Amino acid sequence: MGSTERPAPLRLGSVAPNFTADTTAGRIDFHEFIGDGWVVLFSHPEDYTPVCTTELGAFAKLEPEFTKRGVKLIGLSANTVESHGGWIKDINEISGSQLRFPIIGDKDRQIALSYDMLDHQDATNVDSKGIAFTIRSVFIIDPKKTIRTILSYPASTGRNTAEVLRIVDSLQTGDKHRITTPINWIPGDDVIVHPSIKNAEAEKLFPKMQIVKPYLRFTPLPKDETSAAV
Ligand code: BEZ
């Protein structure tokens, strides 16, 4: 690659662009890495920075919950794989966990560019050479390699790993049960019957459905019927 032109922005429903890259677990072809599972790809502005260090420790701790749901984690930071290797030792020491998922080495920011992860708006968010930092992006990608969620956080604000897992649960549960999830939903809470299902069919599928308004129909969905049941 080597381009600095911005590619067309990715949207929910776009196919995740493929790439090959060096990672802390060796060279990967991203589509092969996705395989037939789910992937959470998340970027970091820079190695050996404080907020990123706390985030990677938290992802390492929560990785078993993602694994149970068939989700692989993969990070990206705009430094070399060798630099990541030294940083991971610090992350493990500080967090008391073992970081096992790969981190992509994207020193020339070409993967960050192809995923629209560079900060083009905030002129203060640049590295010591004045180059735009990668922002804290999260892409949740499904087994069809479709992007299902995009989150963007500023460099100053660490993400919430529990929220990323909650979104995975909402997406996987919605794919299975024809439901959507309301504000602040967590597995075990009532869910919303998908608006595309007519009442007659909905009453058969969800006998405990409650119609609050014609467009707002709740039903219980026990935690053991969600993706969090694993
Ligand atoms: C951090 O991870 O702490 C950080 C990285 C880049 C800019 C600002 C903060």
Domain of residue 26, CATH code: 3.40.30.10
Q: Which domain holds residue 82?
A: 20-159
CA of 45 to the centre of ligand 1 (A): 6
52 is an active site residue: yes
pLDDT at 2 over 60: no
- Would you say residue 167 lies in a domain? no
Domain of residue 182, CATH code: 3.30.1020.10
Identify whether the C-beta of residue 53 lies closer than 8 Å to the C-beta of residue 90: yes
Give the helix ranges, DSSP H, for 69-198: 81-95, 110-114, 161-177
| Residue 53 Cα: closest atom of ligand 1 | 2
Quote the pLDDT of residue 124: 66
87 and 195 co-located in one domain = no
CA of 130 to the centre of ligand 1 (A): 14
pLDDT digits (tens, 9 = 90+) for 68-93: 999 999 999 999 999 999 999 999 99
If one residue of 117, 153, 156, 159 were mutated to test the ligand 1 pocket, choosing by the most ligand atoms within 8 A of its CB, it would be 156
Pocket of ligand 1 (CB under 6 A): 45-46, 49-52, 133, 155-156
155 and 209 co-located in one domain = no
150 and 208 co-located in one domain = no
Quote the pLDDT of residue 21: 98
Continuous segment of H or E residues that includes residue 216: strand 216-219
Q: Which of 16, 34, 41, 52 is catalytic?
A: 52
39 and 100 co-located in one domain = yes
Q: Could you tell me the sign of the dihedral formed by the alpha carbons of 15, 55, 116, 47, in that order?
A: negative
pLDDT digits (tens, 9 = 90+) for 168-219: 999 999 999 999 999 999 999 999 999 999 999 999 999 999 999 999 999 9
53 and 87 co-located in one domain = yes
Phi then psi for residue 162, to 5 deg, are -65, -35
Quote the pLDDT of residue 1: 44
